[in-house]
C-alpha cells in the first residue's frame, strides 16, 4: 500500500506491507487488529489541487501472491508438476495478483498486464474496473492528520494503544526541511527491462535479484528493507511476469546502508529465468548480471535520476556467485566519463571478440548492448551529498590552488544542500578565513559565501534553521580572528551601495553582527581586552557609514533603485542589532549614531520606514534601559513625529 502520483506515474511514498497467510490471518502478530499506517511528510501543495496544477494522488494497494508460477486448485494439486507447498530447495516466486486504488475494488491481474499498466488502466477508467470485479476488495478508513498532531503521535507513541504500526515516509525530502529530520535513505526502483530471447522459442519468466555487495565481492547483509516491521534482508527478489521479455516492474526498495559502507558498496543485479516446472527451476542459473556503484569516483553519491546499468551475459558453466572480476568493467554510461575506469565499452568489445564479431567463449561476462535494464534512484540523505561543490569546499585543504573556484561555487549551491551540511559548510568557510596561508584576496569571497548562506536562512522554507545557526554561533563557532574581517567586508558594501550584493549584506545584518560579537568575545577570552580601541573604532566607522548613506542623493551615475533598497534595509535591520551591539559597544555612542541616522533622512523620503525605525528604537533596550540615552533620543524623535503628524495644506 502506498501513495501514487498518477500525473507522474510513480509512487511517492514508502510501501506499507501486510503479509496475509492463505488462511486469511495476518502473519505478524503485532499487526493483529492494528493494520494502521501513517503516510507523512506531505505539504498542502502535495495533497490539494491548485488552479495551475491538478493533483492526482491515489492510495493504491498492490497484491502479490507468493508461491508457484500458476495457481493450482486442491483437486489438481497432487497431479501438478509444481507443488503449492514450499520446499527447502525451491525458491518461492512473487507473482502479481491485482491492484486497488481508493475508488475501486480489487482488479485482478491478467497475464498480459504488468501491475503498472493495470494500475494506469484502473485510474484511467474506474467505472470499467468496477464492472470487472464486484466481489473482491478492501475496506479502508482514512484520516487526515495535521502536522502538529503527527508530531504529538510520534513523541508520545507509548501512550497510544492504537499507534500506527508503521510510518511510511515520502520518497524525498519534505518541502520544509526540519533540522531534526535526520535521514539516510536510498530508494532503488526496478523500472523495466528489455531482454532479447535469442535462440529461445518463447519469452522467459524473468526474475531480478538485487543485493548490496562490497569491493571484495561479499554480500553486505541486512540492509534491504523487506517489510513494514523494520525487518531487513540481504537480497530482494522482483515479481515474475509469465512469458514476458519486456517486464515493467516499478518496484521500489528502500536501502538502509551505514554511511561508512557507501564508498565500497555497489548494487548487484542478477537476472534469472524462473521455470514453471519444479525440476527445471532447480537447475536454472542466472543468465545475466548488471551492477552500479553507489558512489561516483568524485565521492558524490548517485544522482536522483534514471540509470541504465549495462547488462553482461553470463557463461552459466563458469559463473561463480562470489566472482568480482566484473567490477573492472564500466557499470553504466556514467562510468565512461571518468578516466579511472579500466575498460570502456569499446575496449571490452575488443576483449570479447577475436578477429570476428563472435564473442570469445572464454569470457565469463559479455556485454549485451541490445538488452536494456532501467532503474530509478532517489537518495534522501542528510549525511551524503550528490553535489561535487560541497565536497570540494569540505576538502579545500587538499586543493588550495582551486580555492577561488571553490568559493565561487558555494553561491551555486541549492538551499537544501546547504541546510543538510550547514555546520560543515560554515566550519570550512571560517577555516579558510582563519588560515594564515589564505590570501586576503579571498576575504570578500568568503564573506559573499556567508551572505549567500544566511540569505537562504531568511527564506520561509528554511526559517527553522535560524535556531540551528544561533546554536552554532553560541556553541560551535570558534573563529577568534574574523570580527575585523567581517566589519571590513561589511564596510566595503556600504561604501559601494549601488549593487544588489550591498542590499543582501544589509538584510543579513542581524546574523553578521552575531558572528562579529561572538568572534570578539572569544578573542577577549584568549587575549584579554587587547585591540579594543581598534575594534570599537572599526564599528563606529561602520555605523557612521550607515548615517552618511541616508543623506546620499541618487544620481543617474549610480543605481538609485539599489541605493533606496539599501537605505530601507538599514532602517529595518539596524534597530534589530541594538541588543547585541550594546554588549560590546558604548551605549552613548550608539545613541548618537541613531540620532544622526534619523536626522540624515530627508523629510520628504522614506517617511513610513523612518517611523517604523523610530518605533523599533523606542522598543529597544537602548531606550528603555539607559535613561541618559533616552533623554538624548526623545527630542529628535519628537521632532520627526511632529513632522509626520503635520497635515499638508
> Does 280 fall in a domain?
yes
Q: Which residue has the higher pLDDT, 100 or 371?
A: 371
Q: Which residue has the higher pLDDT, 555 or 202?
A: 202
Instruction: Examine the domain organization and report whether 219 and 150 are in the same domain.
Output: no
If one counts every other C-beta atom within 10 angstroms of the C-beta of residue 633, the result is: 22
Strand partners, 168: 39
Q: How large is the average pLDDT for residues 5-23?
A: 84
Give the confidence band of 416 by pLDDT, cuts at 50, 70, 90: confident
- Which of 259-273, 319-333, 345-359 is predicted with the least confidence, judged by mean pLDDT? 345-359
Q: Which residue has the higher pLDDT, 97 or 546?
A: 546
Instruction: Examine the domain organization and report whether 267 and 356 are in the same domain.
Output: yes
State residue 250's pLDDT score: 92
Q: Which residue has the higher pLDDT, 344 or 182?
A: 182
State residue 284's pLDDT score: 85
Report which of 171, 220, 133, 190 is spatially closest to residue 40, judged by C-alpha positions: 171
Looking at the predicted structure, is the pLDDT value of residue 221 above 50? yes
Give the confidence band of 151 by pLDDT, cuts at 50, 70, 90: low
Locate all alpha helices (DSSP H) within 556-626, ordered by sequence: 560-573, 578-581, 587-599, 607-619, 621-624
Phi, psi of 230 (to 5 degrees): 55, 25
Instruction: Examine the domain organization and report whether 123 and 231 are in the same domain.
Output: no
Q: Are 132 and 107 in contact (CB under 8 A)?
A: yes
Question: For the whole model, what pTM was predicted?
Answer: 0.78
pLDDT above 70 covers a percentage of the chain that reads 80
Instruction: Examine the domain organization and report whether 194 and 162 are in the same domain.
Output: no
Give the confidence band of 84 by pLDDT, cuts at 50, 70, 90: very low
State residue 17's pLDDT score: 86
> Does 244 fall in a domain?
yes
> Does 10 fall in a domain?
yes
Strand partners, 233: 224
Q: Pick from 357, 381, 405: which residue ends a domain? A: 381
Q: Which residue has the higher pLDDT, 52 or 631?
A: 631
- Which of 121-125, 207-211, 610-614 is predicted with the least confidence, judged by mean pLDDT? 121-125
> Does 618 fall in a domain?
yes
Q: Pick from 350, 381, 412: which residue ends a domain? A: 381
> Does 242 fall in a domain?
yes
Give the confidence band of 480 by pLDDT, cuts at 50, 70, 90: very high
Instruction: Examine the domain organization and report whether 31 and 146 are in the same domain.
Output: yes
State residue 127's pLDDT score: 64
Report which of 144, 165, 189 is spatially closest to residue 18, judged by C-alpha positions: 165
Q: Which residue has the higher pLDDT, 70 or 469?
A: 469
Round to whole Å and give the CA distance between 541 and 555.
24
Q: How large is the average pLDDT for residues 96-101?
A: 70
The CATH number of residue 190's host domain is 2.60.40.150
> Does 134 fall in a domain?
yes
Round to whole Å and give the CA distance between 637 and 595.
8
Secondary structure element (H or E) that encloses residue 345, with its range? helix 345-352
Instruction: Examine the domain organization and report whether 191 and 120 are in the same domain.
Output: no
Report which of 448, 338, 436 is spatially closest to residue 404, judged by C-alpha positions: 448
Looking at the predicted structure, is the pLDDT value of residue 362 above 50? no
State residue 603's pLDDT score: 73
Looking at the predicted structure, is the pLDDT value of residue 491 above 50? yes
Instruction: Examine the domain organization and report whether 495 and 597 are in the same domain.
Output: yes
Longest CA span, the chain: 107
Instruction: Examine the domain organization and report whether 59 and 115 are in the same domain.
Output: yes
Q: Which residue has the higher pLDDT, 104 or 443?
A: 443
Strands in 428-574 per DSSP E:
none
pLDDT in tens, 154-166: 665 554 555 666 7
Instruction: Examine the domain organization and report whether 522 and 626 are in the same domain.
Output: yes
Number of domains in the chain: 3
3-state DSSP: the chain helix, strand, coil percent, rounded to 5?
40, 15, 40
Round to whole Å and give the CA distance between 234 and 211.
6
State residue 405's pLDDT score: 94
pLDDT in tens, 109-131: 566 677 788 778 777 776 665 55
The string of DSSP codes covering 137-164 is -------PPPHHHHHHHHHTGGG-TT--
Instruction: Examine the domain organization and report whether 204 and 344 are in the same domain.
Output: yes
State residue 361's pLDDT score: 38
Looking at the predicted structure, is the pLDDT value of residue 62 above 70? yes
Domain range spanning residue 225?
184-381
Q: How large is the average pLDDT for residues 70-85?
A: 49
Report which of 229, 246, 175, 239 is spatially closest to residue 209, judged by C-alpha positions: 239
Instruction: Examine the domain organization and report whether 154 and 222 are in the same domain.
Output: no
pLDDT in tens, 338-360: 645 544 555 555 555 554 444 44
pLDDT in tens, 578-598: 999 999 999 999 999 999 999
> Does 427 fall in a domain?
no
Q: How large is the average pLDDT for residues 278-305?
A: 88
Instruction: Examine the domain organization and report whether 519 and 587 are in the same domain.
Output: yes
Looking at the predicted structure, is the pLDDT value of residue 218 above 60? yes
State residue 359's pLDDT score: 43
- Which of 8-12, 39-43, 71-75, 415-419 is predicted with the least confidence, judged by mean pLDDT? 71-75
Round to whole Å and give the CA distance between 166 and 615.
51
The whole-chain average pLDDT of the chain stands at: 82
> Does 403 fall in a domain?
no
Amino acid at each position: 500500500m502506498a501513495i501514487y502520483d498518477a500525473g507522474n506515474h510513480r509512487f511517492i511514498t514508502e510501501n506499507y506491507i501486510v503479509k496475509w497467510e492463505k488462511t486469511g490471518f495476518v502473519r505478524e502478530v503485532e499487526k493483529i487488529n492494528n493494520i494502521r499506517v501513517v503516510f507523512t511528510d506531505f505539504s498542502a501543495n502535495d495533497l490539494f489541487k491548485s488552479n495551475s496544477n491538478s493533483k492526482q494522488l491515489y492510495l493504491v494497494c498492490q497484491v502479490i501472491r507468493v508461491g508457484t508460477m500458476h495457481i493450482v486448485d486442491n483437486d489438481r494439486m497432487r497431479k501438478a508438476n509444481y507443488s503449492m507447498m514450499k520446499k527447502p530447495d525451491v525458491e518461492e516466486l512473487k507473482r502479481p495478483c491485482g491492484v486497488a486504488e481508493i475508488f475501486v475494488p480489487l482488479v485482478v491481474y491478467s497475464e498480459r498486464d504488468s501491475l503498472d499498466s493495470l494500475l494506469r488502466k484502473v485510474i484511467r477508467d474506474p467505472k470499467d474496473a468496477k464492472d470487472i470485479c464486484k466481489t473482491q476488495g478492501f475496506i479502508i478508513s482514512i484520516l487526515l492528520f495535521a502536522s502538529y498532531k503527527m508530531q504529538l503521535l510520534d513523541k508520545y507513541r507509548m501512550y497510544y494503544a492504537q499507534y500506527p504500526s508503521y510510518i511510511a515516509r515520502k520518497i524525498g525530502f519534505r518541502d520544509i526541511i526540519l533540522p531534526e529530520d535526520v535521514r539516510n535513505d536510498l530508494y532503488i526502483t526496478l523500472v523495466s527491462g528489455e531482454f532479447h530471447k535469442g535462440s529461445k522459442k518463447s519469452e522467459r519468466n524473468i526474475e531480478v535479484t538485487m543485493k548490496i555487495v562490497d569491493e571484495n565481492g561479499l554480500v553486505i547483509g541486512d540492509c534491504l528493507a523487506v517489510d513494514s516491521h523494520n525487518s531487513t534482508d540481504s537480497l530482494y527478489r522482483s515479481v515474475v511476469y509469465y512469458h514476458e521479455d519486456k517486464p515493467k516492474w516499478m518496484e521500489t526498495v528502500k536501502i538502509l546502508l551505514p554511511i561508512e559502507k557507501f564508498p565500497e558498496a555497489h548494487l548487484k543485479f542478477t537476472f534469472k529465468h524462473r521455470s514453471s516446472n519444479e525440476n527445471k527451476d532447480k537447475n536454472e542459473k542466472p543468465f545475466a548480471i548488471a551492477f552500479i556503484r553507489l558512489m561516483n569516483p568524485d565521492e558524490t553519491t548517485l544522482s536522483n535520476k534514471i540509470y541504465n546499468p549495462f547488462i553482461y551475459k553470463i557463461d552459466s558453466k563458469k559463473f561463480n556467485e562470489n566472482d568480482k572480476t566484473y567490477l573492472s568493467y564500466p557499470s553504466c554510461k556514467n562510468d565512461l566519463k571518468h578516466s579511472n575506469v579500466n575498460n570502456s565499452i569499446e575496449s571490452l568489445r575488443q576483449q570479447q571478440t577475436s578477429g570476428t564479431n563472435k564473442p570469445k567463449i572464454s569470457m565469463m561476462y559479455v556485454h549485451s548492448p541490445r538488452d536494456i535494464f532501467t532503474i530509478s534512484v532517489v537518495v534522501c540523505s542528510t549525511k551524503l551529498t550528490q553535489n561535487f561543490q560541497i565536497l570540494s569546499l569540505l576538502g579545500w585543504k587538499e586543493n588550495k590552488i582551486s580555492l577561488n573556484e571553490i568559493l565561487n561555487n558555494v553561491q551555486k549551491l541549492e538551499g537544501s544542500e546547504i541546510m543538510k551540511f550547514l555546520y560543515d559548510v560554515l566550519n570550512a568557510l571560517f577555516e579558510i578565513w582563519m588560515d594564515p596561508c589564505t590570501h586576503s584576496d579571498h576575504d570578500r569571497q568568503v564573506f559573499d559565501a556567508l551572505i549567500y548562506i544566511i540569505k537562504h536562512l531568511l527564506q520561509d522554507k528554511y526559517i527553522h534553521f535560524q535556531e540551528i545557526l544561533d546554536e552554532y554561533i553560541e556553541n560551535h563557532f570558534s573563529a577568534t580572528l574574523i570580527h575585523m574581517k567581517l566589519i571590513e567586508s561589511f564596510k566595503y558594501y556600504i561604501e559601494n551601495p549601488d549593487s544588489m550584493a550591498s542590499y543582501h549584506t544589509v538584510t543579513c545584518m542581524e546574523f553578521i553582527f552575531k558572528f562579529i560579537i561572538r568572534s570578539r568575545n572569544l578573542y577577549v577570552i584568549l587575549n584579554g581586552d587587547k585591540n579594543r580601541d581598534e575594534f570599537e573604532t572599526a564599528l563606529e566607522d561602520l555605523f557612521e557609514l550607515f548615517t552618511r548613506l541616508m543623506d546620499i542623493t541618487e544620481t543617474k551615475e549610480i543605481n538609485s533603485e539599489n541605493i533606496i533598497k539599501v537605505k530601507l534595509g538599514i532602517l529595518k535591520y539596524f534597530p534589530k542589532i541594538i541588543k547585541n551591539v550594546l554588549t560590546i559597544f558604548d551605549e552613548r555612542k550608539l545613541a548618537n549614531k541613531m540620532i544622526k541616522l534619523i536626522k540624515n533622512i530627508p523629510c520628504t523620503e522614506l517617511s513610513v520606514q523612518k517611523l517604523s525605525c523610530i518605533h523599533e528604537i523606542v522598543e529597544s533596550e537602548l531606550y528603555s534601559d539607559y535613561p541618559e540615552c533616552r533623554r538624548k533620543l526623545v527630542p529628535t524623535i519628537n521632532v520627526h513625529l511632529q513632522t509626520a503628524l503635520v497635515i499638508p495644506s
